[in-house]
Structure 1
């Protein structure tokens, strides 16, 4: 006659002991008590809400100067070899990306154009 393995045996523990087991298992899943991920969710939101506040408004040059942003984009594009520039190889891909960007920035509505039906 064979016996079932011990892993199938029902074990009843006291409430006090089970609380200790739960607390121990929660503690063992944490790797460190430091860092953003281990902070209280309210504290995380407080920190995250500060976003770009660390940079003064007058120093946020791209939002103030679109030409500067465009030049930075061109500079970044020049760092990619011509053979790897997908937009220069495929103008329809560039057009599609532009359409998607325009739709995203205008909330999905097309620019208002006069129809001449007035």
Structure 2
């Protein structure tokens, strides 16, 4: 029986330095744009997506309560 142990070091794309990852990602984005496979959201599409996500999250009462607990006291510090 063979047991796979995950290495603690990052592998593949994650192992690259941040500048190299950025370069590769940039080329992928440029290729997607050039090939017509990328999508740019309009302001209205972005608003609709945000609204939809907010409605979905707000259905989880426990999650919303946790957000409220974390937020307590932070507003007073900003004043």
Q: TM-score range by the shorter chain?
A: 0.3 to 0.5
Q: Which has the larger radius of gyration?
A: 1
- TM-score, length basis structure 2: 0.40
Which one scores higher on RCO, CA 8 angstroms, separation ≥ 6? Answer: 2
- TM-score, length basis structure 1: 0.30
